[in-house]
Structure 1
C-alpha cells in the first residue's frame, strides 16, 4: 500500500458539505434495501424469507437501517432509479424524519430501469435493464427530482461503460450540463467490471463546457467504483481522480459478502480477531486507508450491520497510527487480492436471493 495522507474521518469535498456537521467517510448505499432481491451472499440470513419481503416490510427495514445510520452520524445516502423503491423509501424517510436538505447529502443514479416487478425469481429475465440514451436521462432525472427534490446533491451515470457510448454522446452530455447548471447538482459516474480504470480515464477528459478545455473544470465531480480487498485494480486510477479533485466513492467494499463468506474470509477473520474488531469493520477500514481517501458505502441490510460497519471510521485511524498494524493490513491485501477477470467472473455468477 502506498503511503496514505493524514487520516481524516470526514469528507472534505464542498459538494458534500452539510450545515454544521462534517460528513463521515462512511455512507449508506440502498441497493440491498430498495427491493426484495439482491446478489449479496447470505441475504436470507439477514432478512425474512423471500416470500415475506413485501413492499411494506422492506420499507420498514429501510427506515430501521436509515435510522441506525443517522444515529451513527452517517450523512451520505446513495440510491438509484433501478434499486426498486429505494428513492421512494428514502424520500418518505427524509420527510417523516423532517431532515432538511442542508443537513444531508443524497446521491442517486440514472441509466438503468428496474424491471423485476418486486420479484426475486424473474424466471431468467433481467432485474434491471441498461439504457444510457438521452431520452432515458431526461425521463429518469424528472422521476428522481420528483421524489428527492432539493435533497438531491449528486446525480450519477449508473455503470458507465465505453461500449454504451455514454461518454461520447454530446447531446446527452449537454443535457447533463444543463441539468447541473439548472439544479445546482453535482454530476458523477459509477463504474463496474474489468475496465473501471479505462472508463474513468475517459471521463476525466470531459470538460465542464462543450468545446472547452479542462482548465475551465471537468464535467464530473465524483466517481463511484468497486474497490475492496479482493478487487484492487482501480486503485491507481482512483488516486488520479482524487488528484484531479473528484470525490471518490467506493461501492461493494465487502465484495457482495464474499469477503466474509468466500475464500478471503479465513484470512480476514484471523486478522480481525488479532486486532479485536469485527471482520466487516476491518474490511471497510482497509478501504478507508487508501490514498484516494474514499467515501465508502456500507451496504448494510440491518441496523446491527450498519453499526458494525461504522466502526471502520475509528478503526482506520487507529490502524494508520500503528505501523505494525499497517504492515499487517498490507499483508492481508497482498494475500486475498484476485485478478480482475477472476473477481468479475465470480461476481457474474452470484444469484439474486
Structure 2
C-alpha cells in the first residue's frame, strides 16, 4: 500500500497531510476566506497559490496530498505541480469521486456541487481523474459516504472498485454528517469475495465534533489507514472564532489555536494522517507546528469539554456560507 511510505517516514510532519479543498476553487465554506485568498481568484491566481502551498508543504516534510473531483480544479493544479517537479516521487496522492463540481468558478452559485454515488458517476469521474493524475494517483475514495449511500450496497460498484484495487490502486471512502460512526461501521462490513473492500477512511474529527472517534479506532484496528479532515472545523477553531478554552491552552503552549487543535488529533493512536486545509503559507506553517505541541492530560480534558452535539454541529456547518 502506498501509505506504507508514510508509515516509514520519520520527519516530524509525516502524519500531517495537505488538503486542496480551500484553494482548488474560488468558493468554499471556511471562515475567513475573505482574508486568506487574494481578491483575484482567477484560475491562474489559485493555481499559483496552490503551487506555492504545495512547495511549502513538501519542503516542510508533508508527503500526503488530498484532492477531489468536486474541489474545482484541484486535481488539475496538483497534476501540473507534479509535472513540473519530476524529482518529487515520494508524495502519496489521494482524490475522491462522488461529487461533481457545478459552480463554474463562481463564489455565489446556487449549487456548488452535486452528489451521486452511482456506478456511472464513478466511471466518468475515474476517467477524468486518470486523465489528470494517471499513475500518480495512489488512493481513490468515495466522497462523503452516509449510512444511506447506495455505495454501501451496490455490488456492481463494489466489483469495479475491487478491480481497481487489484490493479494496485488503494480504495477508500470518506464520511460526513452526524451519523459518521454508522457509515464507517457499515463500510467496514463491505466485502468482495470475502475480503474487505476498503483500505482507508477519511472522516471529520475535531475537538468540537469527536463523535466518530470510537468507530475510527475500530477502523484502525481492522487495518485501515485513518485520514482526518476538517480538524479546524471549517475555521471555527482559529482566529476570532476560536473558543476561549482553546485560546487559553494555546497561550500555555506558546503556539496557535490551530496547532493545538490539530495536535489533539495527532495524539489519537488511530490517526494516520491529519489534514491541513491551509489557504496561505503562514497558515500552513502554523498548522505544521502541531507536530511540536505537547499537551498534558489537564489540557486535553479542558479541550474535550468543547465537544458539541453532533446534530447541532452539522446543522451549524450546513449554514456556513460559501465565501
TM-score when normalising by structure 2:
0.95
Structure 2 partner of 1:5: none
Deviations 1:267-323, CA, capped at 9 Å, x for gaps:
1111101111111100100011113133100000011111111111122xx33xxxx
Structure 1 residues 125-165: Cα deviation after superposition (integer angstroms, max 9, x where no partner): 21000111101111111111111111111100000122231
Partner residue of 2:279? 301
Whether 1:112 aligns to 2:78 is: no
> Which stretches in structure 1 are left out of the alignment for 5+ residues?
1-12, 320-324
For residue 8 of structure 1, what is the aligned residue in structure 2? none
Go from structure 1 to structure 2 and tell me whether the alpha carbon gap of 1:16 and 1:150 turns closer, same or farther (over 3 Å shift).
farther
Residue in structure 2 matched with residue 245 of structure 1 by the alignment: 223
Residues 3-26 of structure 1: CA distance to partner in whole angstroms, max 9, x if unpaired?
Answer: xxxxxxxxxx75341698447110
Cα distance in 2 for partners of 1:339, 1:21 equals: 36
Instruction: Give 1:99 shift.
Output: 4.0
Distance 1:172 1:234, change over 3 A: same
Aligned 8 A contact 2:181 2:212 in 1 = yes
Q: Does 1:341 align with 2:319?
A: no
Distance 2:200 2:156 in 1: 21
Inter-partner Cα distance in structure 1 for 2:241 and 2:102 = 32
CA distance in 2, matches of 1:22, 1:181: 29
**Whole-angstrom CA distance in 1 between matches of 2:208 and 2:114:** 27
2:143 to 154, 158, 166: 158
Please say if 1:329 is aligned against 2:313: no
2:61 is aligned, of 62, 73, 79, to 73
For residues 179-219 of structure 1, give each alpha carbon's deviation from its aligned partner in whole angstroms, at most 9, with x where no partner exists: 1112x111110000011000111111112x33x2xxxx411
What residue number does 1:198 align with? 182
Say whether the 8 Å CA contact 2:245–2:302 is kept in structure 1.
no
Alignment correspondent of 2:127: 142
- SS of equivalent to 1:156: strand
Task: Look up the match of 2:26.
Answer: 36
Q: 2:247 aligns with which of 269, 272, 275?
A: 269
Residue 233 (str. 1) matches residue 220 (str. 2): no
> Which structure 2 residues correspond to residues 180-219 of structure 1 after superposition, within 5 A?
180-182=165-167, 184-207=168-191, 209-210=192-193, 212=194, 217-219=195-197
Is the Cα contact below 8 Å between 1:16 and 1:105 reproduced in 2?
no
Q: Is the 8 A contact 1:100 1:151 kept in 2?
A: no
Q: Secondary structure at the match of 1:62?
A: helix
d(CA) in 1 for partners of 2:38, 2:274: 27
Change (3 A) 1:146 1:22: farther
**Contact in 2 for aligned 1:16/1:153 (Cα 8 Å):** no
Ranges in structure 2 where 5+ consecutive residues have no aligned partner: none
Matched with 2:16 is: 26
Query: Shift in Å at residue 91 of structure 1?
Result: 0.3
